[in-house]
Structure 1
Amino acid sequence: MIDFIHRRDDAADADWYLLQSGEPGRIVEADVRFRVTGKIPELWDPVTGEIREAAVWREKDGVTELPMSFPINGAMFVVFRKPSAGREPLVTFSPVKAFTGVVDSRAIVLKNGKPGVLAFDSGRFTGQTKSGKTVAAEVTAPAPIALDGPWTVSFDPGLGGPAEPVVFEKLTSLHEHTDPKIKYYSGPASYKRTIEIPAAMLGEGRRLMLDLGQVIELAEVRLNGRKIAVAWCPPYAVDLTAAARPGANDLEIIAVNKWHNRWIGDEQLPPDVDTVLPNFGGLNRTPVRFPDWAKQGKKSPNGRILFSTFMPRTKEDKLGAAGLLGPVTLRGGVEAELK
């Protein structure tokens, strides 16, 4: 199921559709029909801001049919505003692998207007054009590079984290660490390491993607000191092409988690305020009164990090996964013409 909103702009002679996956937590693939003909469907990505022409579409019985693939909880704008006269789009396309919703090979429109493929997988890609011509490309994509470790991880001491960086030989959830300053940590954690990028992954017609794997909850990616993007929803993947260089590159991933674990960590310490259950019921305790140290903007005298008008966790509550879990992988793509 796909949810949508449609807006028609008569002055601009354009149609705007916002489509969203209606199946939370699932990858969705569907042939979507639009009550528009004679226009090129454009795909406007609301997460990355990328605008591109759809490579595969067909007109039939007064509608435009567009094969679409949505990552988990994904969305896409589809805009019809440019005449399609003289265009020879693909009407079918066969990838090498099934859609995963992360870094996938896909049909594209090349700069010369011809049909092509952006391939992250090796193999033979085939399609059929509007005129019935069968086209194909045999592509050898670079092998993915796993960034297993070690990672040097830095925390914010002001949020209860260690004052010095800690080396993680492999990526694991922060809540599994033996150090309480990491186990109960909530806030930004900076993961750094130097990566080697082969020249074969860069250059004209190449695309370099960083697949972060699992992130709890979001992550900012920096390469060679340059902020690339913030990955805050699936797919947790970022385009490194513009900032990458052959050879050594400095990679930093700043992962941020929720306050859940910090609340539980604070509950391991002596209370710093008298609390009471609210009259309206519930399990969240509230302070009887604001303590003087909070009024004065000072820190808790008992070493707690958080203070609020309600206390949502207890010391017995279960910790949640946190940080960069991975696996983190470099994936190289190759553009090739289908002919």
Structure 2
Amino acid sequence: MTTEPHSSPAYRPRHPVAFVTCPGTDHAGDLGRPSTALGGVLGAWLRRLPLRARVTGPLRAADNPERPAGWVITLPVTPDEVCSGSRRARRLLWQALDRARALGALTVGLGGGSAALLGGELPDDVGITTGSAFRAVLCVMTVRRLLAHVPPGTPVAVVGADTGVGRAVVALLADLSPWPLLLVDTPVNDVSAGPGRVSAGPLQVTADLRDVRAAGLVVLLDGAALGADHLGPDALVLDDSQPRVTRPDLLLRRPDVRVVDGGVAAVPGVWRPGAPRGRAARACACLAETLLLGLAGHEGHFTLGPPQSGQAQLMVELAARFGALGFGPAAPRSFGEPVNLTRRFEQDAPRPGTHAGHSAASAARLPFPLAELTP
């Protein structure tokens, strides 16, 4: 199986998907939460017991509840074992792919870093995706909403702009004038590497985390050692790092700082049997991307490495196409708890063309229109 061109077909029959995760994974969301039967098993016992991957589901979509939209498959391994790439973890992952295939899934999302267990070997009969394209798009959606809480003209810092997801995020944020962009830890030669990359506002590149103090909104995309002293007064932090960088004690040291969890989408039109139906379900970016690919009937592998602009554009199109089911940013949380940011989080950030010095022509030079990022 090869990677399909990143175009949105007029119509293809949807197919069910599977999402592979493991106990202890961050940002699983409600839909992607690992099996409760394995969630309480300690890592030492996970390694000793002859456990098999456990299937939870099916997931159901409101526009076609009679047929399963997908399943969650929990690997009986810890995130540390996944990172170590042990032989046992690799064997269990391939067993999970066999389970997904037997269930009828044609696309499998590999969460929690489990894609590294493939070792470059890909299955021929199911598509694999890691969720990085939708993660970048979801990050920009969230930034647009958080900008309603940042004074106009305040710099937006992107920490980890040189990562695969970071470059896609920067390419999408580059036209958000009048907010200057501060790219942290990005080589100067790489700043313009993205296709169609322009900047209508000021742009600064730095390798010094102390420069982040000037930013009103800080977007964390990697594991940089960002401390309380690096943040300016009343800073708003979007932690979209995996695994997350910030810890709750940051709020004790800096009560003026607000931290928002990133990487989680609201999908009220998708649910798990037995889950409460009175609240909107939440899904991590990888699960959301996997669901979108299944809903669209996408064939082949998708994001296997850094997201490409065509992949991000397809995610924008599919999120709009299936917007009745959700796929926008979830309501804000801070370290898993609901948080009030004093103004309505649902308020859209100013759209392109609403500020002086920002034209629709400059927005058209982006890989895809930034206005489309708001569902």
Give your verdict on TM over 0.5. no
Which of the two has greater helix per residue? Answer: 2
User: RCO higher in 1 or 2 (8 Å CA, sep ≥ 6)?
Assistant: 2
Larger Rg: 1
Which of the two has greater strand per residue? Answer: 1
TM-score, length basis structure 2: 0.26
TM-score, length basis structure 1: 0.28
